[in-house]
Amino acid sequence: MVKPLESTIGSMPTTSPPVLESVKTETATHCPYCALQCGMIVAAGEGREVTITPRTDIPANAGGLCQKGWTAGELLTNGTRLTTPLLYGEPARWDDALDHVATRIREIQDEHGPDAVAVFGGGGLTNEKAYLLGKFARVALRTSQIDYNGRFCMSSAAAASIRAFGMDRGMPFPITDLAAADAILLAGGNMAETMPPFVRHLSGMRERGGALIVADPRLTPTAKMADLHLQLTPGTDLALALGLLHVALAEGYADDDYIATRTAGFDAVATSIAAWWPERVERITGVPVAQLRQAVHLLGNARRAMVLTGRGAEQHAKGTDTVTAFVNLALALGLPGREGSGYACVTGQGNGQGGREHGQKADQLPGYRKIDDPAARAHVASVWGVDPADLPGAGRSAYELLDALGTPGGPRALLLFGSNPLVSAPEAGRVADRLAALDLLVVSDFVLSETAAAADVVLPTTQWAEESGTMTNLEGRVLLRREAVAPPSGVRSDLSILSGLAVRLGHDAGFPADPRAVFEELRLASAGGAADYAGITYERIAAETGVFWPCPAEDHPGTPRPFLDRFATPDGLARFTAVEHRPPEEDLDVEYPLYLTTGRVLAHYQSGAQTRRIAALTAASPEVFVELHPDLAESVGVTHGEPLRVVSRRGATEGIARVTGAIRPDTVFMPFHWPGVNLLTNPALDPLSRMPEFKVCAVKLERVA
């Protein structure tokens, strides 16, 4: 038994599934989790049990999956799955739940105005959902108050890419280019745990003799693979990048022809870099001068080189300037826009790239258009059949939105799709207070996440393998996620929820629940924008294993490497921008003498809402831990495996001490997959991207009696 859509998977090699008692339907689709969007085949039989095998036709994973991917099927059958709407904690009928939400929205907006209702989305939502959510906010709610968790993810890299290249295609080349490079500098990424199949591209490069340089305060599994590990102090990447550029210029590695013909603004940066001599950079970053030089030699002597950033470098109140400094280095070496070389941000969430393009951002309309651009408003309004003057303007960024909830003048209702901010937002204790101050909190989810548990109305939704839609992976390749099993009875898709609410708010048309219909409209709305999907169809995606945007017409091949001839700036030149290093927003002092940095472990995903419900993953990684150096452990008087309290100015939490020489003695690391860690983090925001400072704040340690 083969589903109709299967006839369109083209050259996909059908790997034979394990011997099965009954005939299974095989569906070629993608992983529910991260931005690598590994291709997988989901084989489903009579019940809802599925077997997952990796696809070999998707270059990003080429036959690989990580533990989260292999075990993703459990999400479908998990006993913790939501199947009934909850109205103030009680099971409710769908009509009653949706009627209640619509009535309360009307009442709240009548009393306080359209902006009293806010929407929060997620980078895990399909393009169709992200698009319809943005349209729902602007057209059905007429609110400006919409933003999403991508603000917490790659927004600094996005802002820096737009500043330098005029466009934000996180990785502006196919991922397979990595293996052909001769040197790669990875600042603040731990792909061996966050995207394990990505590692094959890095090791492919190393097997060819290429060099990997990793900047991380911890000797991570990724840093262990590296030829050179720069174990910098948290929050000092900006100084590091300035120092590398200083050495590169001083030692004659600047690509003068490239700088002259493909860039603007170099002179100001060259002047600003003069004071960043290596000894000064060593003092700030802790990276020895010899290693700074070695890194520059490896990059500068490479025929093809790449500079990559991950969240470690980006999630800072100076994240945009930090990425800009790395981009300046890449530009000086002549890398971006050259085949086989370049700068890339390694995007995180499943649809982290597509989710930032189609209008769930506070300042954005579909196609990566700016909401304050009159031409963009006119185009999108015409697709939506509304008056451009009726479209709201820009709203608050994610943290500012959460922080304003229930305050005088702030939103009084929040509709949340695809995020668990009670666990994942900075200074989460404050966010909990703000959510509690709302008149109405509505959460759509398929599990009772911490945030859903605090909601007035919970709407149980379909998940990855139970619905179709497009996802744009970290390369900018638009992929098709296909329905592989029928959803359990009682749940509705996010699109159907939006559609049902829109009808109740007086919009009988314009909010289809069918993903394909939404995608057809998205194509029109994005046409002519930076992220142009006009030429992409579900059939093409299936036949071509994905299409790279921009793709303005059906006979256009798509754009794997958008910057080869020119950058997306008005004059086609990339921009250097002079930036200055500054210390973390909250630096060390006598009372809080240690840096806390946060991040991920292999077995868990994000707030843990999904992976903490999967037995194999909780067995692999059962509890929150505090990674600390043996010297520090000794001075605190704690041994490996003992509980430990970590305290910041904003809150306190506990974890099990994990004593290891792999971390700097002045730094502790905690994963944020469990509630508690974000009680500590600092919500200081980057002035441009509004990214919070997740990666560095000051803490002290206390023994637990």
Largest CA distance in the chain: 71
Residue range at the interface with ligand SF4 (CB under 6 A); choices 58-66, 87-95, 242-250, 276-284: 58-66
Residues 636, 626: Cα–Cα separation, whole Å: 13
- Among 41-49, 63-71, 267-275, 411-419, the segment contacting ligand SF4 (CB under 6 A): 63-71
Nearer to Mo ion, 157 or 414 (CB): 157
Q: Which of 124, 150, 196, 334 binds ligand SF4 (CB under 6 A)?
A: 196
Question: Rounded to the nearest 5°, which phi and psi values hold at 417?
Answer: -130, 110
CA torsion angle 453 457 460 463 (round to 10): -70
Classified as helix, coil or strand, 601 is coil
Residue 38 touches which member of ligand SF4, ligand MGD, Mo ion, none, C-beta under 5-8 Å by kind: ligand SF4
* Span interacting with ligand SF4, options 2-10, 66-74, 319-327, 675-683, rule CB under 6 A: 66-74
CA distance 167 to 150: 17
Q: Residue 643: exposed, middle, or buried by beta-carbon count in 10 A (0-12, 13-18, 19+)?
A: middle
Helices (H), 600-673: 615-620, 630-636
37 binds, among Mo ion, ligand SF4, ligand MGD, none (CB under 5 to 8 A by kind): ligand SF4
Position 695 contacts ligand MGD (CB under 6 A): yes
Per the structure block, which two tokens stand in for 662?
Answer: 């792999």
Q: 573: which residues sit within 8 A by CB, 6+ positions away? A: 262, 263, 264, 566, 567
> Under a CB-based contact definition with an 8 Å cutoff, are residues 188 and 309 in contact?
yes
Q: Which of 9, 12, 28, 36 binds ligand SF4 (CB under 6 A)?
A: 36
Least distance in Å: CB of 165 to ligand MGD? 20
Complete DSSP assignment for 537-598 = -HHHHHHHT-EESP--STTS---SSTTSS--SSTTS-EE---------SS---SSS-EEEEE
Instruction: Kindly state the DSSP code that residue 175 receives in the 8-state scheme.
Output: G
- d(C-alpha 347, C-alpha 94), whole Å: 36
Size of the site for ligand MGD (CB under 6 A): 65
Of 330, 130, 339, 316, which Cα lies nearest the Cα of 237? 316
Percentages helix, strand, coil for the chain (3-state, rounded to 5) are 35, 20, 45
Strand order in the sheet with 25-30: 25-30, 39-44, 50-54
Supply the DSSP string of 37-91, one letter for each residue: --EEEEEE-SSS-EEEEE-SS-TTTTT---HHHHTTTHHHH-TTB--S-EETTEE
Residue 444 touching ligand MGD (CB under 6 A): yes
Residue 561 to residue 548: CA distance in whole angstroms: 9
Helix, strand or coil for residue 468?
coil
**Segment near ligand MGD (CB under 6 A); pick from 323-331, 369-377, 420-428, 532-540:** 420-428
156 binds ligand SF4 (CB under 6 A): no
Binding of residue 449 to ligand MGD (CB under 6 A): yes
Report the residue number, 153 or 601, with the smaller CB distance to Mo ion: 153
Determine which residue in the list 38, 75, 458, 609 makes contact with ligand SF4, applying CB under 6 A: 38
Nearer to ligand SF4, 37 or 462 (CB): 37
- Tell which one of 604, 645, 658, 664 touches ligand MGD (CB under 6 A): 604
If one asks whether residue 30 binds ligand MGD (CB under 6 A), the answer comes out as no
CB 532 within 8 A of CB 127: no
The least CB distance from residue 301 to ligand MGD, in Å, is 23
Question: Is there a contact between 516 and 495 (Cβ–Cβ < 8 Å)?
Answer: no
Contact call for residue 676 and ligand SF4 (CB under 6 A): no
Q: How far is the CB of 471 from ligand SF4 (least distance, A)?
A: 10
The residue from 64, 73, 85, 124 that contacts ligand MGD (CB under 6 A) is: 124
Instruction: Decide whether 24 or 129 has the Cβ nearer to ligand MGD.
Output: 129
Q: Rule CB under 5 A: is residue 170 a binding residue for Mo ion?
A: no
Tell me: cis bond preceding 550? Omega within 30 of 0 counts.
Answer: yes
Our CB check for Mo ion shows the closer of 153 and 330 to be 153
Shortest distance (Å) from residue 82 CB to ligand MGD: 9
- Kindly state whether residue 355 participates in binding ligand MGD, applying the rule CB under 6 A: no
Identify the CA nearest to 448 among candidates 422, 486, 428.
422
Compute the distance between CA of residue 108 and CA of residue 89 in angstroms, rounded to an integer: 21
| Minimum CB distance to Mo ion, residue 472 (Å) | 14
Question: What does the alpha-carbon distance between residue 281 and residue 238 come to, in Å, rounded to a whole number?
Answer: 10
355 binds Mo ion (CB under 5 A): no
Q: Is 297 exposed, middle or buried (0-12, 13-18, 19+ CB in 10 A)?
A: middle
Would you state the structure tokens that stand for residue 602, as one six-digit string?
Answer: 């292999």
Contacting residue, 41, 195, 415, 636, with ligand SF4 by CB under 6 A: 195
Rounded least distance, CB 571 to ligand MGD, Å: 32
Q: How far is the CB of 174 from Mo ion (least distance, A)?
A: 22
Contacting ligand SF4 within 565-624 (CB under 6 A): none
Taking the complex as a whole, how short is the minimal distance between the CB of residue 473 and ligand MGD, in angstroms?
A: 12
Is there binding between residue 445 and ligand MGD (CB under 6 A)?
yes
Ranked by CB distance to ligand SF4, the top (closest) residue is 69
Q: From edge to edge, which strands make up the β-sheet containing 211-215?
A: 228-230, 211-215, 183-187, 305-309, 342-345
What is the C-alpha separation between 458 and 446, in angstroms, rounded? 9
Q: Which does 696 bind (CB under 5 to 8 A by kind): Mo ion, ligand SF4, ligand MGD, none?
A: ligand MGD
- Contact stretch for ligand MGD (CB under 6 A) within 5-13, 104-112, 310-318, 542-550: 310-318
Separation of alpha carbons 158 and 45, rounded Å: 42
Asked whether position 360 contacts ligand MGD by CB under 6 A, the answer is no
Task: Find the binder of ligand SF4 among 27, 29, 37, 607 (CB under 6 A).
Answer: 37
Residue 69 contact partner, candidates Mo ion, ligand MGD, ligand SF4, none, CB within 5 to 8 A by sort of partner: ligand SF4
Return the residue of 312, 348, 395, 562 that touches Mo ion, per CB under 5 A: 348
Confirm or reject binding of residue 310 to ligand MGD (CB under 6 A).
yes
Q: Does 86 bind ligand SF4 (CB under 6 A)?
A: no
Q: Please say which residue, 388 or 488, places its beta carbon nearer to ligand MGD.
A: 488
Q: How far is CA 608 from CA 44, 62, 367, 450, in A?
A: 26, 26, 31, 10
Q: x/- string (CB under 5 A) for Mo ion, residues 307-346? A: ----------------------------------------
For residues 305 and 87, what is the distance between their CA atoms, to the nearest angstrom? Answer: 55
Interface ranges with ligand MGD (CB under 6 A): 34, 122-125, 149, 152-153, 187-191, 193-195, 215-218, 220, 232, 234-235, 237, 310-313, 315, 348-349, 417-421, 423-424, 444-447, 449, 461, 494, 597-600, 602, 604-607, 609-610, 669, 672, 677-678, 681, 694-696
Interface ranges with Mo ion (CB under 5 A): 153, 348-349
Interface ranges with ligand SF4 (CB under 6 A): 31, 33-34, 36-38, 61, 65-66, 68-69, 195-197
